[in-house]
Amino acid sequence: MKKKVLLMGASGSGKTSMRSVIFSNNQASLTSRLGATIDVEQNHVRFLGDLILNLWDCGGQDSFMDSYLSTQRSTIFQHVGVLIYVFDVESREMEKDLWYYHDCLESLKKFSPDAVVFLLVHKMDLVRHKRKQKLEEKTAAIQKASGDVGITVFGTSIYDESLYKAWSRIVHTLIPNAAILSKHLTTFAEACSATEVILFERTTFLVIATSQRTNTAPSINQTSNGSSSSDLTTADGSAAQESDPHQLQPTRYERTSELVKAFKLSCMRAREEFRCLEMELPEYTAVLDELTRNTYIMVIVHDPTIETTAIKINIRLARQKFE
Ligand code: GTP
C-alpha cells in the first residue's frame, strides 16, 4: 500500500493553490480562479520518474472536516506517510483552526503513528509588518496544540520562494535513496572542484539533494529529527555568511527553483524548450543542465581556471551513475 500525503487545513487556506503551483506549473496569480475542493481530491503525482506521490487534497469546509473526523476517519488517516497541515496566517478563526488541527493529529496518532507532520503557516506575503514575530507567535500556538508530536513549521507563500523551500523538504522525506544521492553529489562536486552542486527534480524543480559543504548554510539534507523546528522566510542568514568565503545566500536553492520554473513557463509561452543555462561571471561560473531523464543539476564553480566546457563534460560523464 502506497503511503499517502495528506494535505489538510481550513477552507481557503491555500492547499489547492500550492499544489497547483508546485505540481501543475500553474502561475500563482491564476490560483484565485480555483474553486473550493469538494470532499477529497486524490492525485497520483509522478515525481522523479518512478516515485508516485499519492496526494490527498482534503477540502477544508467545516462539513468535510467533520466528516473526516467521524465517518471517514479510518479511510482518511490510515496509511499516511506525511501530513501537511496548512494554516492561513491571517485567519480570523485561529482557535477553530487549531481545534480541528488537534483532532486531526489525534486521528493521525491512532491510525498512522509514524507519519511525519509538516505545518505551513501560509500566505505570509499578506503580513506587512513584523513577519518574523507573527510566524513565531503562530508557531508557538501550533506547537502547543501539537503536544508531544514532532513537527516542522514553515512560513510560506505562493508568491515567493518560501513555498519551494517547504515542499523541497517535504518531498525529501519521501525519496527512498536521498542519502545515496547526496553522497554521489558530494563526490561529483569534489571531482569538479565545485563550490556547490544542487540536484533538482525535472518537472517541479524542487531541490532533491545538495552537495555537503562544511562551512555554509544548512542544506536540504537535514531532515526533521522529530523535534519541532521552524524555518523563517525572513531569516537573513548572517551567521552562515560569516563562515562562508563566497557569501552564498541561504535562500539560494529555493530562489533558483522559483526563478527557473518561471523561466521555463516563459519558454513554454514562447513555444521554446528550456534546455540548459550557462553563466560566466567574474566571481563564478554556473551551469544548469539536464543530468538524467528526471533531474537537472546545477554546478557552481568559483575557481576561474575551470572552463565551462569541462563542467559540461563532467555532467555528461556522470549521467550514467545517476540514471
Ligand atoms: P478548499 O478547497 O476550500 O479547502 O480551499 P483551499 O485551501 O484549497 O484554498 P485555495 O487553494 O482554493 O485558495 C484560496 C485562495 O487563497 C485563492 O484565492 C488563492 O489565490 C489564495 N492564496 C493561496 N495561496 C496564497 C498565498 O500564498 N498568498 C495569498 N495572498 N493568497 C493565496
Find out whether 101 and 6 touch, Cβ atoms under 8 Å: no
Percent share of the chain, pLDDT over 70? 89
In short, whether 123's Cβ falls inside 6 Å of ligand 1 is: yes
In short, whether 17's Cβ falls inside 6 Å of ligand 1 is: yes
For a pocket test of ligand 1, which of 6, 13, 17, 158 has the largest count of ligand atoms closer than 8 A to its C-beta? Answer: 17
The CA distance from 164 to 234, in Å, is 14
The pLDDT assigned to 321 comes to: 78
Cα-to-centroid distance, 140 and ligand 1 (Å):
23
pTM over 0.90: no
Average pLDDT, the chain: 84
Find out whether 211 and 188 touch, Cβ atoms under 8 Å: yes
Computed from CA positions of residues 95, 227, 244, 284, in that sequence, does the dihedral angle turn out positive or negative?
negative
The pLDDT assigned to 234 comes to: 32
pLDDT surpasses 80 at 14: yes
Find out whether 283 and 289 touch, Cβ atoms under 8 Å: no
| Closest among 74, 8, 82, 70 to 40, alpha carbons compared | 8
The pLDDT assigned to 244 comes to: 63
Instruction: Give the model confidence (pLDDT) of 76-96 as tens digits.
Output: 999 999 999 999 999 999 999
In short, whether 203's Cβ falls inside 6 Å of ligand 1 is: no
pLDDT surpasses 80 at 233: no
Instruction: Give the model confidence (pLDDT) of 160-218 as tens digits.
Output: 989 999 999 998 888 888 888 888 899 999 988 899 999 999 888 899 888 876 544 44
Nearest atom, ligand 1, residue 13 CA: 7
The CA distance from 15 to 163, in Å, is 11
pLDDT surpasses 80 at 74: yes
The pLDDT assigned to 243 comes to: 58
Question: How long is the chain?
Answer: 323
